[in-house]
Amino acid sequence: MNKDANIRLQDNVVLEHYGLNELHLESVRHYREQFAKVKPNHPWNGLETKDFLYKIGAWGKIRDTNKEGLTLAGLLMFSEERMITEVLPQYFLEYREYGDDELHWSNRFTSQDGTWSGNIYDFYFKVMHEVNDVSQVEKDAVHEALMNAIVHADYSGDGGIIVERQRSCIQMSNPGLFGIPLEQANSGGVSYLRNPNMFKMFIYIQFCKRAGVGLKTMETIYSQQFAVEQYDFQKRTVVTLPIVSFPERHDYINEIEALSDWMGDAPLSDSINKENNSYNNDQNSVNNEFESVNKDPNSLNIEINPVNKVLDSINKKDSSVNKDDNSVNISFNSVNKLGEEEERNIDQELWSIAEIARKKKRLAPAKMEEVILQLCAHRPLMLKELAYLLDRTPDGLRNNYLGKLLAEGKMRLKYPDQLNHPKQAYITNKQYS
C-alpha cells in the first residue's frame, strides 16, 4: 500500500489477507490473561481465539464478501514487526535511555531488533518495565503519556513512537498531531481518538479509564511542570515528563479524585463502566454487549463500597490506637478510611500477618496471594479492610489478586448472591486455609 492509502486507513479496517498465522500468539495469550484477571467471570473468556479477537475488535468480517481477517488494530496490537510494516511501512517503535553523559544511550531497543515481537502491546510492557525504578506516581504519569501516544499516533506517519529517558525527564513523541486544539485537549473533557479500536482493547483490560482527561491528569500530577509540544512541519507530538520526587502518593490520588469530580465523572477507584466520556457509550462497547461483564451477576465491577467513601476516620478518635508510634496511622493509604467499628474488628494477629506487604511495596505476586489467603482464613474481610491491612489500593487488590483468587476457587464471597451487600467480604476456602 502506498502512503496516501495508509493515511486513509482506520484501525477497524479488515485486512482480509492477514489471518491467525500472522499473530504473535504469546502476545494474544498474555492479553487474554490480563482480560481474565480483571473480568474473571466474563463469557468471552471461554471463546476460541478467533471469536475472542472478533469480540475485542482485533478480528473483522467484510459483510458483502464474507471475507475475514485481522483488523488494523489487531495487527498493530498482536502481530509482529515484519507483518505490520507490510501494511504500514513507516511503523517504528523505539526506547532509548541515556547515561550520565547524555550523549550516548546506555540501553536501547526497537521494534526492528528481532529480539521481541515489535508490536504495540508488547512495547507497552517493555517500556513500563524499564521505568520500574521511578516512583509509583511518576510511573502512573508514564503510563498515561504512553497510552496517549499509542492511541493518538498516526502509524502511517514518519518517525514512529519514540520513548527517550534522560536523567531529568522522560520524553515521548509520536507521529500525528492532536485532532483538536491543544488548549481544548489541556482543558479535558473532549478527545479525538485516531485509533479508537485500539483504545477500546486497552479499556477492556482497564489500562485506559476515560477519554479526554489524559493531559489534565498529567498536569495534576506534575502541577504544570510537564510540557506538550506539537510540530506542524514534522506532524509530531512530544510530551516531556520531569522526573521529580513525590513524597506521598495519597496526595496525588486526592488530586486525581478531585479532577474526576470536576469532570463530572466517577472517582478513579470506580469501574470504567460509569465513565461519561468512555467508549462505553459506543454501540459496540463492552457495556452494551448483551453478555457484558457489567451485566454478569458474578461481576466484580459492581463493588459500591470504595474505601475512600468512609466518613468516620479513625484518626479523629481521641482514644484511637493511632497514638502509638507503631500504630496503624503510619500507613498513609488507609488509616483514616476505616470507621470505629472496623477499627475494633482488625486485631493484632491480622496486622502482623500483613506486615510484610506493608513493608515491601513490590512484593512478589505469589507471596501477596499467600498473605491474602492467610488473612481471609482467619475471618471474612471486606475490601476496605484488606486495603487497610496490606497498605494497597482497593482497585489494585481487586484487579490484580482477588479476582484471580476467586476465579481459581481459592476464595469465595461471603454473600455470593448479593454482590452489592454493604458487608460483602472475602473468605478463604477451607482447602487453602
- Which pLDDT band holds residue 293 (cuts at 50, 70, 90)? very low
- For the cut 60, the answer to whether the pLDDT of residue 188 exceeds it is no
**Choice among 127-131, 151-155, 344-348 with the minimum mean pLDDT:** 344-348
Give pLDDT, residue 201: 96
More confident residue, 364 or 95: 95
Partners of residue 209 on adjacent β-strands: none
- Which pLDDT band holds residue 431 (cuts at 50, 70, 90)? confident
Which long-range CB contacts under 8 A does 219-228 form with residues at least 24 apart?
Answer: 219/186, 220/252, 220/255, 220/256, 220/259, 221/137, 221/140, 221/141, 221/144, 221/252, 221/255, 221/256, 222/141, 226/141, 228/182, 228/185, 228/186
The percent of residues in the chain predicted with pLDDT above 90, rounded, is 40
Residue entry with cell 513523541: 173
State which of 46-50, 247-251, 299-303 shows the largest mean pLDDT: 46-50
The percent of residues in the chain predicted with pLDDT above 70, rounded, is 65
| Number of residues that make up the chain | 433
More confident residue, 375 or 180: 375
Give the mean pLDDT of 78-104: 90
**Choice among 131-140, 217-226, 356-365 with the minimum mean pLDDT:** 217-226
User: Are 398 and 413 a contacting pair, CB within 8 Å?
Assistant: no
**Choice among 106-110, 150-154, 300-304 with the minimum mean pLDDT:** 300-304
Give pLDDT, residue 149: 93
Q: H/E/C letters for each residue in 24-36?
A: CHHHHHHHHHHHH
Give pLDDT, residue 286: 38
CA distance 139 to 326: 29
Give pLDDT, residue 243: 77
Mean pLDDT computed over every residue of the chain: 75
- Which pLDDT band holds residue 250 (cuts at 50, 70, 90)? very low
DSSP string, 232-280: TTTTEEEEEEE----S-HHHHHHHHHHHHHHHTPPPTTS-GGG-TTSGG
User: Are 152 and 195 a contacting pair, CB within 8 Å?
Assistant: yes
Backbone angles phi, psi at 426, to 5 degrees: -110, 135
- Which pLDDT band holds residue 122 (cuts at 50, 70, 90)? very high
Give the mean pLDDT of 118-127: 97
- Which pLDDT band holds residue 215 (cuts at 50, 70, 90)? low
Helix (H, G, I), strand (E, B) or coil at 331: coil
- For the cut 60, the answer to whether the pLDDT of residue 358 exceeds it is yes
Give pLDDT, residue 258: 41
- For the cut 90, the answer to whether the pLDDT of residue 134 exceeds it is no
More confident residue, 423 or 395: 423
Give pLDDT, residue 187: 47
Please report, as a single letter, which amino acid is at residue 172: M
